[in-house]
Amino acid sequence: MFTPKYPPQDTAPPATAPAPTVHTPAPLVQSTPAPVPVAPVANRPTVQLTPGSALALAAGGGAVVLVVGAVLVSLLLAVAITGVSVAVVAVVLRLLIKDLHKH
């Protein structure tokens, strides 16, 4: 079960060394130079920020940060209020049970 299973060995014949080939030099031919590649022009327009649009973008980002911060603080406050409420209920129940055992 835990012994490794190896795949079967290849049945192809062993590769033999290729026969050496004789290289003959190519004749020198004068050719025209290759054309220089030109960078493609982008089809999409570029976005340019003016000072007014940059200010609006910064104000929008600040507003998003403030809104997200307010939501997170309110969630934290809700958890804290719930924890304090549960603690007060536990103390009241403890006092009531203690009072029942005395009488």
**Tokens standing for 30?**
């004068």
Q: Are 49 and 57 in contact (CB under 8 A)?
A: yes
Whole-angstrom distance, CA of residue 88 vs CA of residue 80: 12
Q: Is residue 55 part of a domain?
A: no
* 18-63 tens-digit pLDDT: 666 776 766 666 667 777 777 666 677 777 888 899 999 999 999 9
Question: For the chain, how many structural domains are there in total?
Answer: 1
Please check whether residue 40 lies inside any domain of the structure: no
The answer to the question of residue 31 being in a domain is no
**Boundaries of domain holding 88:** 75-103
Instruction: For residue 10, tell me if it sits in a domain.
Output: no
* 80 assigned to some structural domain: yes
Residue 103: which pLDDT band, with cuts at 50, 70 and 90? confident
Whether residue 27 is contained in a domain is answered as no
Q: Is residue 20 one of the residues assigned to a domain? A: no
- Kindly report whether the global pTM for this prediction surpasses the value 0.85: no
What is the distance between the alpha carbons of residues 58 and 52, in angstroms, rounded to a whole number?
10
